Structure 1
Amino acid sequence: MIALGGSIGTGLLVGSGKALYMGGPAALLIAWGVVGTMVFCVVHALGELCVAFPVNGAFSTYATRFVDSSWGFAVGWNYAIMWLFVFPLELVAAAMCLQFWNTTINPVSWVAIFYVAIVLINLFGVKGYGEAEFYLTIFKIIALVGFIILGVILVCGGGPKHEFIGNKNWKVGAFANGFKGVATTFITASYSLAGTEMVGLAAAEVDNPRKVLPKAIRQVFWRVFLFYYLTLTFIGLLVPYNHPDLLGGSGNNASPFVIAIKDAGIKALPSIFNACILFAVVSVGNSSVFGCSRTIQSLGAQGLAPSWFAYIDRKGRPLVALGISAIFGALCFLTAYKDQGTVFNWLLSVAGLATVFAWFNIALCHFRFRRAMRTQKRSLDELVFTSVTGIWGSLYSMAFLILVLIAQFWVALFPLHSNGKPSAESFFQNYLGAFVILICYIGHKLYTRNWRIYLSSADIDLESGRRIVDVEVLQAEMTEEKEANRLKPVYIRLWNYWC
């Protein structure tokens, strides 16, 4: 369930409205479709690494092992910083969800309630996090499947107004701002899929990664196709890119999902969907504490942070790392400050590109892992799970993410509707994350006096952290499982592979 719904949050449910306004309905399908192919490749590469090396920390640990310790330091801290700031931001977003119904209660009260609840959930360890995500994800999945069914009905004219919509809103404008609008939408699509890699952080705490992780990794196809592509198809059909609520709305009132339901004339459903957005926001806040704590603990264990950051109690909880996340989460109480929007925009800008660098790092580590396997004359038959797209998928992902960074640079420096004039504020709010990771990387190089850019393929450690070491036994088990699967009906085999 973490793999299926871990990344569904405000990026899709609210942020897609800004993407529709900037790019138009065609840009939504192009951006999420192409970014979805990249995420598919990255998650399969991550699955191959996690099944082979189910180690704590995943991304930063792999970066240190397969690339270089300075790169591991930069990627790990950039990823941890992102979740440190996402936690308070999601708490504020949760309070905004409740403002949809009640504006008389001080939002700080709601923030405090959600803050305590999420910290307590994570104090129950990985089981508490997993159980909470399981139920929160069920709500998200039911909401999105319900919206897809409603979308079919409304587009075909079955709503209260009995108006056939068809492709009417595409005729208003399929592309809102040309190529620049599409480029801006690519960036929003990348952010909305952030959290897809969270399944890798749980690898070290899974009893049997060989059995569980491949099944979870394969779910990414359905997540991208069903919960992103189909919902955004109906958003583009139901809401015109120039809808006044997209232009001037704020908070959940600017959600294209809520706008589509309101325009259909359905009375109670906007409030119900707002509740689903609330569940999604709390889910992302819960994931942020889990992701941040595991990354910080891993950095401490690798010697890339103070050693006491690595402390784990007898129940397997990284208490020091959880405490650090809770301390930063207290930034949510800045919601009482009159200029809290400006403060949080700058806080988020520090790690605004963290997801892009995390995905690039996963693809790079997979590429370096395969090179090391080849150099050290190791067979891929040793691997329980291999990426469907192989090494070429990782190369494609790295090339695509470099293009996203270039597009982000262009759009950040010359934002839409700036008449071609550069904007320093827009640039630093959208591109500061690149400077953060660069400073971390160079700073670690200067501190350690380690001028090596990357490890040679022959020196990469392919043994530490492997749970399965007897290759012959492994291959015998896999052969037996394949034979048993071959005897099953075709529909069962297809179900087992994709689901």
Structure 2
Amino acid sequence: MSFKDSKLEDGNSLNSFQIQSSKQIGGESTISDYVNEKSSTKENSFVSFFKSFQIVNKNNISNVEVLTPEDNLKVYQVKLIALASCIGSGLFISSGSIIATAGALGSFLSYFIVGVLIFFIIQHLGEMTSQFPVRGNFLIYNSRFIDESWAFAMNWNYCLQWIVTIPLSLVSASLTIQYWNDDINAAAWVAIFWVVIVAINVFGVKGYGYGESVFSVIKAIAILGFIILAIVLVAGGGEQGYIGGKNWHPPFANGFKGVCNSLVNASFSFAGTELAAIAAAETSNPRKSLIKATKQIFWRILIFYMLAIILLCFLVPFNDPQLLGNSNSSASPFVIAIKNGGIKVLPSIFNALILIAVLSVANASVFATYKPLVALAEAGHGPKFLAYIDKRGRPIFAIIFALLFGLIGFICASKNQETVFAWLLAVSGLSCVFIWFSISLAQVRVNYAAKVQGIDIFKPYKAIGGDYGAYLSMMINVLILVAQFYVALWPVSGENFKVETFFEAYLAAPIVLVSYIGHKIWTRNWRLYIKAEDIDLVTGRNLLDVDVIKQEIYEEKEVWSQKSFWYKATRIWC
């Protein structure tokens, strides 16, 4: 079936996943035949909903529902997800620890370095996804362009990163509630929040799209509102009077070591930004969605991270006793900044918005968990049943597994909760850095393989910076790993070296190393990497009709050239 032939009766095109699924399922019936049959058969919506969870019988296409464009993410949802998805405890809560450890200028440098890294990462991921369309699973690029053992390590690394984030987010949400009332057992709130996340994700990608869109709008409004308020407070609109830049002195709290220690925390704040590219692959037109998403990422980094952290550093001194890192308080620096300004009701309102943001991360974590679980199963790196889909195309067992792992959040009622969560954080701490390095490496390998094989690759989306940007991002990732190793050996607190402290700061690295070596031993595959001449640059690309895409790009340029200056001036940025 070609790109041109894959059309539904209403004129909407099926995406690559739908085409591929029809091939894999087999049978003499065509997709169009089944769509007609489906439209003529009506059932009670309640019964139909429960029947949709039936596992697909791959030998009979009549057991499979065609994934229509309504089941994909909408373009506006991808924009919102790119704008504010996964902004949660990393920015709203952990930023307090960064300010306390690194000081104002040190915090700015940490966020700036990681922000530059993330911008290029999204560019590289966007380019690869546009060339080799995958339905929400960019992890496949590791086994295809780098090495099978490295892919095994990265798949499990990414899975562990997000699967531990689910209970962490649920507990963070319960701790946020304690700002108002700490008499109720935190486990009760974890149970309530877990049920909410289950209710959203039972609808698969569709539920994630609608839920995350609402969450993203709320977070965007909250941060923009805080930025306006912060400018007023800095200028003297609060009880403190004119603040100016006094809290930027001294610029560094713990010198060079403080900045090194804050790089990983800043990375944790940006973790999940790559979900924008995953979400774009879930739309009916990934190329257009990627272009929009990458533009949104730029503003996300510039406004929601950089501007927000700069204003926080103006309002909250590094030695504020309420900051996380200076005390056992879990209060957000955003709430602290508002309280210090003498505003009475707003801190509670903003704390409620932070609660929503943390729940948003829990929701996104489920989505980011079952995607790599399916990748593991399909690659033979995990139980095969995790790749099974139901009649609506949901990897139902992978979703259930991810949601069940969220029940670990009930350890918040345990006396050893701090110890357990310290190790959960240790698992997820550096994971994103390895994933980001792997994305850039895959980008470089693709371009080098094309050069060696003499293939002129058509790129529907071209990454800003090209290979130079990829090399820069890899270098930054290595520097973050070296910096974290340094503070793991010599902590900022000045304590002597302890094995426990080292692994709490650097546990992700041994996990990746053991996974990589273990897979090499198990498979006896001693090849370090796939040779450039052996890299497959053909499979998957036949799902793209290059002529159609080139014509589409040409028409877009023609329409663009006819627009007014003011239209171009506004639309070029978003």
TM more than 0.5: yes
What secondary structure, in the 3-state scheme, does the structure 2 residue paired with 1:8 have?
Answer: coil
Q: Which residue of the partner structure matches residue 286 of structure 1?
A: 363
Q: Which residue of the partner structure matches residue 186 of structure 1?
A: 263
The question of 1:211 aligning with 2:288 is answered: yes
Shift of 1:498: 2.4
> Which of the residues 191, 208, 212 maps onto 1:129?
208
Q: Is the 8 A contact 1:45 1:366 kept in 2?
A: yes
Task: Return the TM-score normalized by structure 1.
Answer: 0.96
Task: Return the TM-score normalized by structure 2.
Answer: 0.84
Q: Is the 8 A contact 1:2 1:137 kept in 2?
A: yes
Amino acid across the alignment from 2:372: T
Change (3 A) 1:76 1:491: farther
Q: Which residue of the partner structure matches residue 308 of structure 1?
A: 385
Shift of 1:191: 1.1
Of all paired residues, the percent bearing the same amino acid is 46
The question of 1:170 aligning with 2:248 is answered: yes
Q: Which residue of the partner structure matches residue 399 of structure 1?
A: 475
Distance in 1 (CA, whole Å) between partners of 2:545 and 2:413 is: 58
What secondary structure, in the 3-state scheme, does the structure 2 residue paired with 1:445 have?
Answer: helix
Change (3 A) 1:495 1:462: farther
Residues 425-464 of structure 1, C-alpha deviations (whole Å, 9 max, x = no match):
2210010110001111111111111111111222222232
What secondary structure, in the 3-state scheme, does the structure 2 residue paired with 1:202 have?
Answer: helix
Q: Is the 8 A contact 1:54 1:203 kept in 2?
A: no
What secondary structure, in the 3-state scheme, does the structure 2 residue paired with 1:266 have?
Answer: coil
Q: Which residue of the partner structure matches residue 476 of structure 1?
A: 551
Distance in 2 (CA, whole Å) between partners of 1:267 and 1:351 is: 36
Q: Is the 8 A contact 1:252 1:274 kept in 2?
A: no
Larger CA Rg, structure 1 vs 2: 2
Q: Which residue of the partner structure matches residue 386 of structure 1?
A: 462
> Which of the residues 43, 50, 58 maps onto 2:122?
43
> Which of the residues 151, 161, 164 maps onto 1:72?
151
Q: Is the 8 A contact 1:96 1:251 kept in 2?
A: no
The question of 1:90 aligning with 2:90 is answered: no
> Which of the residues 482, 493, 497 maps onto 2:568?
493
Shift of 1:205: 2.3
> Which of the residues 317, 321, 324 maps onto 2:401?
324
List alignment gaps of at least 5 residues for structure 1: none
Distance in 2 (CA, whole Å) between partners of 1:203 and 1:401 is: 24
Q: Which residue of the partner structure matches residue 14 of structure 1?
A: 93
Task: Tell me: higher relative CO, structure 1 or 2? Use CA pairs within 8 A at least 6 residues apart.
Answer: 1
More helix by share: 1
What secondary structure, in the 3-state scheme, does the structure 1 residue paired with 2:520 have?
Answer: helix
Shift of 1:409: 0.3
Q: Which residue of the partner structure matches residue 53 of structure 2?
A: none
Distance in 2 (CA, whole Å) between partners of 1:295 and 1:221 is: 26
What secondary structure, in the 3-state scheme, does the structure 2 residue paired with 1:367 have?
Answer: helix
Q: Is the 8 A contact 2:280 2:293 kept in 1?
A: no
Distance in 2 (CA, whole Å) between partners of 1:473 and 1:389 is: 26
Q: Is the 8 A contact 1:414 1:423 kept in 2?
A: no
Amino acid across the alignment from 1:447: W
The question of 1:361 aligning with 2:438 is answered: yes
Q: Which residue of the partner structure matches residue 515 of structure 2?
A: 440
Q: Is the 8 A contact 1:88 1:328 kept in 2?
A: yes
Shift of 1:347: 2.2
Distance in 2 (CA, whole Å) between partners of 1:262 and 1:55 is: 47
What secondary structure, in the 3-state scheme, does the structure 2 residue paired with 1:232 have?
Answer: helix
What are the residue-to-residue correspondences of 1:136-155 with 2, within 5 Å?
A: 136-155=215-234
Amino acid across the alignment from 1:384: P
Change (3 A) 1:260 1:478: same
Q: Is the 8 A contact 2:85 2:212 kept in 1?
A: yes
Residues 118-177 of structure 1, C-alpha deviations (whole Å, 9 max, x = no match):
122111010100100000111111110011000110011122x26110011113x11111
Amino acid across the alignment from 2:300: R
Q: Which residue of the partner structure matches residue 27 of structure 1?
A: 106
Distance in 2 (CA, whole Å) between partners of 1:495 and 1:295 is: 37
Q: Which moved more, 1:365-374 or 1:61-70?
A: 365-374
Amino acid across the alignment from 2:355: L
Distance in 2 (CA, whole Å) between partners of 1:14 and 1:170 is: 20
What are the residue-to-residue correspondences of 1:207-246 with 2, within 5 Å?
A: 207-246=284-323
Q: Is the 8 A contact 1:169 1:236 kept in 2?
A: yes
> What do you get for the CA RMSD once the two structures are aligned?
1.5
Distance in 2 (CA, whole Å) between partners of 1:249 and 1:76 is: 36
Q: Is the 8 A contact 2:129 2:138 kept in 1?
A: no
Q: Is the 8 A contact 1:413 1:427 kept in 2?
A: yes
Q: Is the 8 A contact 1:56 1:294 kept in 2?
A: no
Q: Is the 8 A contact 1:194 1:355 kept in 2?
A: yes
Distance in 1 (CA, whole Å) between partners of 2:463 and 2:396 is: 34
Shift of 1:475: 2.1
What secondary structure, in the 3-state scheme, does the structure 1 residue paired with 2:164 have?
Answer: helix
What secondary structure, in the 3-state scheme, does the structure 2 residue paired with 1:32 have?
Answer: helix
Q: Which moved more, 1:428-437 or 1:295-304?
A: 295-304
